Structure 1
Amino acid sequence: MLAYTARRLLMLIPVLLGMSIVVFSIIHAIPGDPALTILGEKASPKAIAELRESLGLNNPWYIQYFAYLKDIVTGNLGISLHTKAPIAAEIVPYLAATAELTVVSMFFAVFIGVNAGIISAWKQNSWFDYIAMLIALIGVSMPVFWLGLMEQWYFAQELKWLPSIGRDNPRDPVVAVTHFYILDSLIAGRFDQFKEVIQHLILPGVALGTIPMAIIARITRSSMLEVMRSDFIRTARAKGVGQFLVVYKHGLKNAFIPVLTVIGLQTGHLLGGAILTETIFGWPGVGRYIYSAILNRDYTVIQSGVLVIATIFVMINLVVDLLYAYIDPRIKYR
Structure 2
Amino acid sequence: MKYQKLKKALILLEDGTIFHGKAVGKEGSAFGEVCFNTGMTGYQEIFTDPSYYGQLMVTTNAHIGNYGVNDQEVESDSIKISGLICRNFSYDYSREDSNGSLEDFLNKHNLLAISDVDTRSLVTYIRDNGAMNAVITTEVDNIEQLKVQLAKVPSMNGLELASKVSTKEPYFVGDENATIKIAALDIGIKKNILRNLAKRGAYIKVYPYNTSFEDMSSWNPDGYFLSNGPGDPEPLKSAIQVAKQIIEVNKPLFGICLGHQVIALANGISTYKMHHGHRGINHPIMNLETGKGEITSQNHGFAINREETEAHPDLEITHVHLNDNTVAGIKMKSKNVFSVQYHPEASPGPHDSSYLFDQFIENIKSN
Give the TM-score category using the shorter length: under 0.3
Task: Give the number of the structure whose residues are more often strand, by fraction.
Answer: 2
Q: Greater Rg, structure 1 or structure 2?
A: 1
Task: Give the number of the structure whose residues are more often helix, by fraction.
Answer: 1
- Higher relative contact order structure (alpha carbons within 8 Å, sequence separation ≥ 6): 1
Q: So what's the TM-score if we normalise by structure 1?
A: 0.25
Q: So what's the TM-score if we normalise by structure 2?
A: 0.24
